[in-house]
A and B are shown apart, each in its own frame.
Chain A
Amino acid sequence: MNIDIVIPLLAATVQSGTPILYATLGEILTERSGTLNLGVEGMMIVGALGAFLTAMFTGSPTLAVLVGGLSASLLGSLHGLVCFHFMGNQVVSGLALTILGTGLANYLGTPFVGRSAPGFDPLRVPILENIPILGPILFRQDILVYASLLTAIGVWFLLTKTRWGLHIRAVGEHPEAARTTGLNVPLLRWSALVLGTFLAGVGGAYLSLAYTHLWTNNLTAGRGWIAVALVIFAFWRPGRAVFGAYLFGGVMAWQFRLQATGTTLPSSLLMMLPYALTVIALVMASRGRGVREAPAALGVNVEPAD
């Protein structure tokens, strides 16, 4: 393979991995606190629509990202209400929110299908962009790509170096014990959920503002679910999430390029690749330490105290 083909491919890899990275980081935060959120797909697409509409009507992509994140957090709050206060089953609630979120985005977005909105364009980092190979891949991207890498570091820092992170992990491992030591379990879980779903919304916003710039129904195409799978693949760690997201971004980018070159393989079969890879990644994670690294109280609700 020629280097002139590989570099654009790797740049596209980073681009298509970024929305998945945001969603995966958000889900890592949420799951570390013991909350299983299966509504990521719904929250991503609601974030994508919120961001798209804001950008279209205000012309400000920055405001749009904020609104995208907030609209996902709003949907995520329903999960918090149902699971933390009404003791609903976390699996079912998450599924319901994916169904609800996809419905909402397709319902409210139908009049805007095919319309475009101002979004993010590549922002060259001076000096760094001239580094051979690495420069064109990493430093001629849009600002949300850089922000996603900072977010990964931020999530790692929050979880491992701060008091809040310690509390979050305690709540995710043993909520009853955490409560006995005086921690406010619902509040901690709420904070992780709101922040985590905000990131899922930013991932959605990336899709409608930077990846495509226009609105189509079912924009997320399962990326939210891939993010949930990547959390397991990443053993709940932000660093491995970056690796996983770019792995999937690579497969998606490669599959699109291959379609464009007009191979004899039917496009449906090529489109299967990311989903098949998800299954393979999960199988691999299960053979390693994968499942054992899950927060012990993942998906378990805390009974109200008398």
Chain B
Amino acid sequence: MTTFRVKRRQAPLTWGACLVLVGGVVLALGASGALLALQGKSPAQGLVLLLTGAFGSVWALEDCVIKAIPIFLCSLGVAVTFRLQIWNIGAEGQFALGAVGATWAALTFPDLHPALLLPIMFSAAALAGGFWGFVPGVLRAGLGVNEIIVTLMFNYLGILLMEALVYGPWKDPASFGMPMTPLFSNGATVSAISEGTAIHWGVVVCLIVGAALSIVFRFTRLGFVLQACGENVKAARYARFPYRRLIVLVMAVGGVLAGWAGLMEASATVGRLQPSIMAGYGYTAIIVAWLARLSPFRIALASFLLAGLRVGVENLQLELQVPAAFGGIVEGMILIFVLAAGFFSTYSLSLIRRP
């Protein structure tokens, strides 16, 4: 009889890990194609439509960048907490609160000059989003309350709070009952970086935040402490690192970053607050952070690719009448397959004969 023998590798794969990642993604795309085939649609045509829809034109590439901005910010926020092995699943709610904070500022001081109003909006979004991360952080650090479920519940709470405001006190009287705030004033709008493009200044914010976090992770004592605590909590406690305070810190920072993503979506992409800004970026961010193994540079890359998947699925929706939920399926599959494929970078399989 032939069986497999599983052995832990002496050292994890290096270049092979990349191959494993690509293999996982290819398998996931294959499985999604099979699903299309089940529904009587051509998987090959689907794949082509997905890819050309995502990366086939300048307009599509611009759309990828615009969608990658909130994913990138949310994912950085999630990654900061994952580094500490704290499972912040709450980017979605922190995103909603960030948008609420920014909208509050935009509606309260509509006539201010952008140079004044935008900083106020960024602060308000940071405070609101950060608070939505801070509270679960405190509960986890102080009482040991499961942060996965609390952050998830805070997603529902945040989205409902945003809806209560948009359906209620903030509703635009001129919107014929539609749940949306009035359009933001010019001073409250994050504008395009130049004429003729839709890409806005949020890209620059992403660059600055990404670079700053890279530096913190790689060159500062805080980055080292985060790394150490994430790898071994017990050892970190012996070393007297302030583990609990770190939990609260990373959760609040995660909330601030996701909050800024919410600000971008309301102020730059839509121009007002409305419930449709909740497009699930916060959940995609978790996948991105995991695929990128928490490094800011790779997060940027993965954000762009998964933004591409969203844009491509929109094309599929248009051309093949595939429901939008297809994107979620592909994302889930990618995560599952890459997770399973990771086995091969830690373990080796060999065929052996058993008598």
How far in angstroms is the closest Cβ of chain B from A230? 10
The count of residues in chain B whose C-beta lies closer than 8 Å to any C-beta of chain A is 50
Contacts of B89 in A (CB 8 A): 95
A-facing mask of B1-17, CB < 8 A → 1, else 0? 00001111000000000
> Of residues 137 to 186 in B, which have CB atoms within 8 Å of A's CB atoms?
139, 143-146, 148-150, 152-154, 156-157, 160-161, 163-164, 167-168
Contacts of A272 in B (CB 8 A): 156-157, 160-161
B45 CB within 8 Å of chain A: no
Contact A92/B157 with A225-B152, A282-B146, A291-B144 known, Cβ cut-off 8 Å? no
14 additional contacts (CB under 8 A) given A91-B87, A103-B327: A38-B148, A96-B335, A98-B332, A99-B287, A100-B331, A107-B323, A225-B152, A232-B146, A266-B164, A266-B167, A268-B168, A272-B161, A283-B139, A286-B145
A187 CB within 8 Å of chain B: no
State A228–B286 Cα separation when bound (angstroms). Answer: 19
Contacts of A38 in B (CB 8 A): 148
CB pair B331–A222 under 8 Å, yes or no, is: no
B contacts with A: majority SS: helix
Contacts of B8 in A (CB 8 A): 303
B7 to chain A: closest residue by CB: A306
A81 CB within 8 Å of chain B: yes
Binding site for B on A (CB under 8 A): 38, 78, 81-82, 85-89, 91-93, 95-107, 110, 217, 222, 225, 228-229, 232, 266, 268-269, 271-272, 275-276, 278-279, 282-283, 286-287, 291, 303-304, 306
State A6–B62 Cα separation when bound (angstroms). Answer: 57
Contact A99/B161 with A91-B87, A104-B329, A107-B325 known, Cβ cut-off 8 Å? no
A contacts with B: majority SS: helix
Contact partner, A282, options B150, B330, B341, Cβ 8 Å: B150
How far in angstroms is the closest Cβ of chain A from B223? 23
Q: Which of the segments B107-115, B211-219, B342-350 contacts the partner chain? A: B342-350
CB pair A87–B346 under 8 Å, yes or no, is: yes
State A67–B290 Cα separation when bound (angstroms). Answer: 33
CB pair A275–B156 under 8 Å, yes or no, is: yes
Contacts of B329 in A (CB 8 A): 100, 103-104, 107
CB pair A304–B6 under 8 Å, yes or no, is: yes
Contacts of A291 in B (CB 8 A): 144, 146
B336 CB within 8 Å of chain A: yes
- Among A228, A304, A306, the most chain B Cβ lie within 10 Å of the Cβ of A304
B164 to chain A: closest residue by CB: A268
> Of residues 1 to 60 in B, which have CB atoms within 8 Å of A's CB atoms?
5-8, 35
Contacts of B286 in A (CB 8 A): 95
Contact A99/B143 with A93-B339, A275-B156 known, Cβ cut-off 8 Å? no
How far in angstroms is the closest Cβ of chain B from A128? 37
How far in angstroms is the closest Cβ of chain A from B14? 19
How far in angstroms is the closest Cβ of chain A from B142? 9
B326 CB within 8 Å of chain A: yes
CB pair A107–B326 under 8 Å, yes or no, is: yes
State A38–B154 Cα separation when bound (angstroms). Answer: 16
State A243–B333 Cα separation when bound (angstroms). Answer: 36
B332 to chain A: closest residue by CB: A100
B241 CB within 8 Å of chain A: no
- Among A88, A98, A222, the most chain B Cβ lie within 10 Å of the Cβ of A88
3 nearest interchain CB pairs? A100-B332, A103-B328, A106-B325
